[in-house]
Amino acid sequence: MRDKINSKDELLKFVFFPSWVIRSAKYNERSLSSLLDIQTLHSFLPVEDISVIFVLNEMLSDMIEDKTAINTLLNEWSGSSIFLHTVEPTIEPARQVIMDRLFDESLKDDKDGVAFSLFELTKDVFGVCINPGYFCGDTKNHDVASLRRAILERAYSQEPLHRVVSRGVFASFFKSLTTQA
């Protein structure tokens, strides 16, 4: 029997992180669950990287057609003065940082060989580590389809089917299957 995520009938949540943020958290001996706490992030990351996390979640939420990730961050961060006064003003420049440091095919490292990996943040939230060089160019559609599939598999392992099919990512995954046929 699958583990249920909680009793409040909430959907399993997820948040995207660039790989260098995960490496930095490990280097600074921070727990992965602390990545949801903007105060903790601010203690070991430059503001620009926190902005990159936010913009990455906006961009990938649009790609997979599911707002769970960006809504999760907004719920965690929106009341924070760090977000409102320090991070939010640097969001626009972060878009170019993502294009230069993450969504550039020349940055693809063959030793990783994967566009992303999933990891647990909390019982109700999982993280998705995004590696550089993917979600762009010729492999973008494949990478997006793989990400949708992985999110759905993770959700299905912890949620009843009726909740999985209610997700935006399910609708976009199903739509992509019907357009390929």
Could you report the per-residue pLDDT of 53-106, keeping only the tens digit for each? 999 999 999 998 889 999 999 999 988 999 999 999 999 999 999 999 999 999
Q: What is the C-alpha separation between 20 and 84, in angstroms, rounded?
A: 24
What pLDDT, on a 0 to 100 scale, did the predictor assign at position 7?
A: 43
The whole-number average pLDDT for the span 6-21 is 82
Q: Where are the alpha helices (DSSP H) in 11-139?
A: 19-27, 38-44, 47-64, 68-77, 81-82, 91-101
What pLDDT, on a 0 to 100 scale, did the predictor assign at position 180?
A: 61
The whole-number average pLDDT for the span 140-144 is 93
Written as one letter, the residue type at 78 is S
Q: What is the CA radius of gyration of the chain?
A: 16
In the chain, where the domains are located? 13-175
Q: Among 16, 64, 63, which residue's Cα sits nearest to residue 169? A: 64
Predicted TM-score (pTM) of this structure: 0.89
Average predicted confidence (pLDDT) for the chain: 89
Do the beta carbons of residue 117 and residue 128 sit within 8 Å? Answer: yes
Highest mean pLDDT among 74-88, 100-114, 150-164: 74-88
Task: Name the β-bridge partners of 18.
Answer: 130
> Strand 13-18 and strand 125-130: pairing?
parallel
Please name the residue that has the structure tokens 């906006």. 58
For residue 160, name the pLDDT band (cuts at 50, 70, 90). Answer: confident
pLDDT digits (tens, 9 = 90+) for 125-135: 999 999 999 99
What pLDDT, on a 0 to 100 scale, did the predictor assign at position 9?
A: 59
Highest mean pLDDT among 11-15, 62-66, 94-98, 155-159: 94-98
What pLDDT, on a 0 to 100 scale, did the predictor assign at position 3?
A: 45
